[in-house]
Structure 1
Amino acid sequence: MEQQKLEDWPYLPVLLLAAISGAYVAGNDAGHAYNTFPKMGDVWIPDDIFSKEPLVCNFFENTSLVQLNHRILAMTTLSAIGALWFASRRIEMHPAHPAVQSLIGSTLGMAALQVGLLTLLMYVPTSASAHQAGALTLPSLMLLLVHTVRKPSPALLKSLASVSKPSTVKVL
């Protein structure tokens, strides 16, 4: 079975989608509506998630659905990065470079910190600023990770080969 490459996994798009959904949470003041986790109030999924017309408006203006989407995307992101961390530990034939392992661990730690900031439980106090700063840090770490482990393009390899050839310099 062919091994999947990190850059083939959709971590970064899911992560960016979670960050964008966080902007809708902030814009709708949805952090004040349901301050319990993992349940939203007394239920897992509120009844009013599709109460607005037209239906598409719910994804941007309905406080319940906006917050539910953000929670789902956040947990999906954390689970995906956790799976990446776990998979990187199980590679036996070609273990990752220690710097890459460290970067994967840092990315997982940042994702866990984002989910664990308890911004909701404290009615969005100053930790909301830390949560927003993390919303910039986490995609930055993920972008650095994807860039670090990507396969270089053939054009780059060709240009590096021409640069590294020893040149003949005549010494007078």
Structure 2
Amino acid sequence: MMDPAILTILKKGVEEANLGHKIQARAYFFEILTMDPNNEYALLWQAYLSDDPYKAVEFLERLLRLQPRHKTARAYLKQAHQRCEEFERRRKNNNFSDFFQTYNVSGRQGLPVPYLGDYLVNQGLITSQQLEMALKLHANLKERGHPKPIGRVLVELGYINNEQLNRWLQQQNDDLETFYLRNLA
């Protein structure tokens, strides 16, 4: 029997997903996973709604470790692996490479405070593939007229949590203040 609180959140998540509100739906399923890290429904929905095929693979493999015979998870895992392969092909393609060069970490060296994505990769909190996916979604949202800060995108994709984001933003603020005080004094 499922916890009634989880069931209520699950229903809200499914409703948001059916309305096409992926980000809101993922937030509900993420909340369920904080309450019950092995909730099969939340894991499956997170994988299904993920814009990041690597993250989808993680959710599905986690579910399959719990329930090795889960047919739907196996089918989704096959699709997620195909999406990862497609992503790798595109990454090797010059067009994607040109896109990523705009955001290349090496092009931002020498800044007083590193960009959030660079910092998170350097700290090992996210992978470079996750940063690439977040930057791609960030650019896509901006092109469609719905810009979101990269930190918010990273949280909504489930790569970091609000606490990590707030900690980084405070650190960035402190570093910038120190930099300007040192260089303007």
Structure with larger RCO (C-alpha < 8 A, sep 6+): 1
Same fold (TM over 0.5): no
TM-score of the pair, normalised by structure 1: 0.29
TM-score of the pair, normalised by structure 2: 0.27
